[in-house]
Structure 1
């Protein structure tokens, strides 16, 4: 199974059918209609704003799109990309861009694309995520584990497998769902079936379902201003071949110190899948659920926004707008709280 395929299958289906661009957050999502032909991509997997203010949108099948404030331009295999599957883009300190693709890690210098294959097998070259840490070390997450990249070659970085009491999907046990760095320089690895692992440069600490997580299938992590860790998970039982058994715990946990808590009162936080948690410039936490829209947490209360797609990407731009990408296209929550579907035709402002 492919990573995005698993995500799409896991998030059930979305209501994406016609042409209305503005969404009243008080209305039900089934009243929203989307013109699929005009979407940035059927699946918008990543959103990034570069140092010049350009917006980039990774897609699963359409390459990567860039909006420069005036026009939208797509880059695909015809332009030199090794694959039209682009799950993320990052900008290095030297202005060079790095793209996660379905056929290796790609460097873009503004003119040319240069591709770096991790290995000879499919899983190693399926790049899921990239972290350029505070020491400028490149950590590359693949379907075949973690690699460190020195700009020329890759070296496998071994992470121990903790003992778990839940059934492991052999097809996905080496998948790295995310890599993040906290304020203290610890590196966190998110794994499908083996929880989350913190690496302090010398030793590994695992956090699992037995410690309080909803699931060992960890999809997302974010750190708030107080040093707490927000953890998103998916329902592990989704992998069960029996449709009647595809139900279980999944959603959102918060780790305060070494204590892991949940939010049983919030819809979608305890028995569903969460693929995105994002901290914006004002330290507000945004959490995207599969069936219950997006929640904004200001440190005191949760506010819900009815976004009619399953979210794979979130990013706040320099103007304070929150961009949302996922299965069904691209949306933006303006500072006024208005939810808008942004297509190839806009509206961009």
Structure 2
């Protein structure tokens, strides 16, 4: 049985998992689920924490930071500290990020709060954010923070935060109509991915949307990944593309697949999970596929995972299929 969760194990004898939005703790013998109140072999007197969390991180000192719809929680291995609407611009925390200096940033419903000493400093639309709600934060190799924003559930733009200054880029500047879901760092440039297009933020600070001139002949995209050697792979509803020096090279004839997940394994092979056509593998110009017809348990692939032995786990609603790495 595959347990699909994030593991945080640097605190001596304490391991944390983030499974289905619920926090669990392992004491070396047993797992304990945190319900409305913390409990286990040790009781943390009266520290009621919500059952559902948006994400969880660990800083260099070993502290666990948890974002939730009721604020930010910090656990130092002994006690919990709760930061709520009295400390943050909003207690509805959608994403946490820790920068290179160890500063904790919280993306919330009404802006950003970041910790400076014992205080939290707020950033909002009036201070340069491209929108009201910050739904994601990413840190680039230069140490800049990128805040993804929306207004009334609609994508409004993205903001770059550097040395306390916030520079907004609205959706018209990015050239993308859809919601930016991910950023890819590539030799000093940034590639922004949305389901309706891909844009480049160059080293001069200018945005340019990729189109037919760069090899993208479609406008609907599913996933983008970057492998360990920096190669960038883009899946559309019909084709897999590889990025090469400013252009996109199509690697497959139209397939009419719907891509649900994509990953690159340790050998450089690209694995693509689809909604109805099973699992595809691309490596060095060769394609192979796995479906119900040749042993896959189900053709709808929800997640793909590579274990330490190089085996590929295809997770479906009906069970798990394993493709041997040998």
TM-score bracket relative to the smaller structure: 0.5 to 0.7
Aligned to 2:284: 299
Distance 1:287 1:67, change over 3 A: farther
Q: Is 2:239–2:252's contact at 8 Å kept on the other side of the alignment?
A: no
Aligned to 2:193: 190
**TM-fit CA distance, 1:230:** 0.8
Aligned to 1:308: 298
Alignment TM-score, normalising by the size of structure 2: 0.56
**TM-fit CA distance, 1:81:** 6.8
Aligned to 1:256: 244
Match of 1:134 among 132, 141, 161: 141
> Alignment partner of 2:280: what SS?
strand
Q: Is 2:36–2:51's contact at 8 Å kept on the other side of the alignment?
A: yes
**CA distance, structure 1, for counterparts of residue 275 and residue 143 of structure 2:** 34
Structure 1 unmatched ranges of 5 or more? 1-20, 22-38, 234-248, 338-349
Aligned to 2:158: 146
**CA distance, structure 2, for counterparts of residue 75 and residue 157 of structure 1:** 39
- Bigger radius of gyration: 2
**CA distance, structure 1, for counterparts of residue 18 and residue 318 of structure 2:** 10
Bigger fraction of residues in helix: 1
Task: Count residues in correspondence.
Answer: 261
Higher relative contact order (CA 8 A, sep 6+): 1
**TM-fit CA distance, 1:78:** 6.4
**CA distance, structure 2, for counterparts of residue 325 and residue 67 of structure 1:** 25
Does 2:206 align with 1:206?
Answer: no
Bigger fraction of residues in strand: 2
Q: Is 1:284–1:298's contact at 8 Å kept on the other side of the alignment?
A: yes
**TM-fit CA distance, 1:51:** 6.4
Does 2:108 align with 1:118?
Answer: yes
> Alignment partner of 1:161: what SS?
helix
C-alpha deviations, 1:276-335, integer Å up to 9, x for none?
A: 322233433222222222333333433334363745554445554555567x38847465
Distance 1:150 1:260, change over 3 A: closer
Distance 1:142 1:160, change over 3 A: closer
Distance 1:280 1:208, change over 3 A: same
Distance 1:126 1:325, change over 3 A: farther
Q: Is 1:126–1:142's contact at 8 Å kept on the other side of the alignment?
A: yes
